[in-house]
Amino acid sequence: MYTNKLHNFLLGDKTDELLRKFAINFAVIGFLIHLTFCFLYDFGYYVNPSTEYLFNSYLVSLYTPFSIILAYEVYELIRVIPESFSNSIGKQFEIVTLLVVRDIFKNLSDIQPNTLTSFDKSIYFIAAEALAFVVLFSTALFFRYKLSSTPVRFYDGEHLNDFVKQKRNLASILSIIFFMVSIFSLFNWLLGVIDGDSELNREVFFLNFFTILIMSDILILLLSYKHTTDFLNLARNTGFILSAVIVRVAIGTSGYSGVTLFILAALLAGSILQISLVLGKELKLQKNVGID
């Protein structure tokens, strides 16, 4: 009973609605404040070499609202963990898609206008990031489409209820860790800004959080083994964890290598979902008709 109350308090609909409104309002306010500082910097009213990178382009102001929305999307990811492993992986790719978009905006702000007709190296990299965005976006929508039309269930009755309770408890713990890591990451980043030793990159918060998320995914996999030893289910979830690990490595990897890893993770997860749904359905049909 206590764990249900804690889960409802941390991850219930009322809390979600409250945080959603807060995130939207905070994103708008943060965007306007950041935009104001960019305006002041542009007209010479704000001069601080250590924080110049935060305000030297109006496009950089997009970083603030996207960061706030991303933080809320991470909270949404934690909320769907008790639903199914597949849903949480799909939500993961929605987050990574927004993460790549934020990086594209930031990299576009670094491009200086010039009269040269030749392509700059940064243009090629932004094109690669745009390709990664398309692949990640398609994967996120693919998960939504497939899981809405074909819900994935591998447990029934009491086993399902027990497993969902365990995942709800894990999600509650993860939500507390999420808030702690968010505050810690923001505090460390602000200290870096004050000391002039910080920058805008996707490693802030997300590198630590995805490490924790992978550990929770592995724990869910181990808990699922108590309720079923079905190879399809175990192999599918293991493959999803592999894609999550690749995403985590991609977050901490810069340049074309990071972009390539994002695309690889998306293709891997999408392929695993499609194979498990198609072949899993065939195996169930064969079992029902008694085919040996």
Q: What is the pLDDT of residue 152?
A: 52
Residue 77 pLDDT > 70: yes
For the chain, what is the mean pLDDT?
Answer: 84
Query: Residue length, the chain?
Result: 292
pLDDT in tens, 3-37: 778 888 899 899 999 999 999 999 999 999 999 99
CA dist., res. 54 & res. 63, Å (int): 9
How many angstroms separate the CA atoms of 272 and 275, rounded? 5
Q: Cα angle vertex 182, ends 48, 241, to 5°?
A: 125
pLDDT (tens digit per residue) in 162-197 = 778 888 899 999 999 999 988 888 888 777 777 666
Res. 113 pLDDT band, cuts 50 70 90: low
What pLDDT does 130 receive?
95
DSSP codes joined into one string, 80-124 = HTTT-HHHHHHHHHHHHHHHHHHHHHHHHHTPPP----SPPHHHH
- 172 neighbors 6 (Cβ within 8 angstroms): yes
Say which residue, 152 or 64, is predicted with more confidence: 64
pLDDT of residue 106: 86
Q: For the whole model, what pTM was predicted?
A: 0.86
Residue 291 has a pLDDT of 40
Q: Backbone dihedral region of 255: left (phi > 0), alpha (psi from -120 to 50 degrees) or beta?
A: left
CA–CA separation, 103 vs 124, rounded Å?
Answer: 14
pLDDT in tens, 196-232: 666 777 878 888 889 999 999 999 888 887 776 677 8
| pLDDT, tens only, 137-160 | 999 999 999 888 765 554 444 556
Predicted pLDDT of residue 110: 79
Type of residue numbered 137? F
CA torsion angle 68 71 77 78 (round to 10):
-140
CA distances from 281 to 42, 51, 228, 274, 277 (A): 60, 56, 17, 11, 6
With cut-offs at 50, 70 and 90, classify the pLDDT of residue 119.
low
Lowest mean pLDDT of 106-110, 111-115, 270-274, name the range: 111-115
Q: What is the pLDDT of residues 233-246, one digit of tens each?
A: 888 889 999 999 99
Q: How confident is the model at residue 284 (pLDDT cuts 50, 70, 90)?
A: low
Strongest mean pLDDT among 120-124, 221-225, 252-256: 252-256
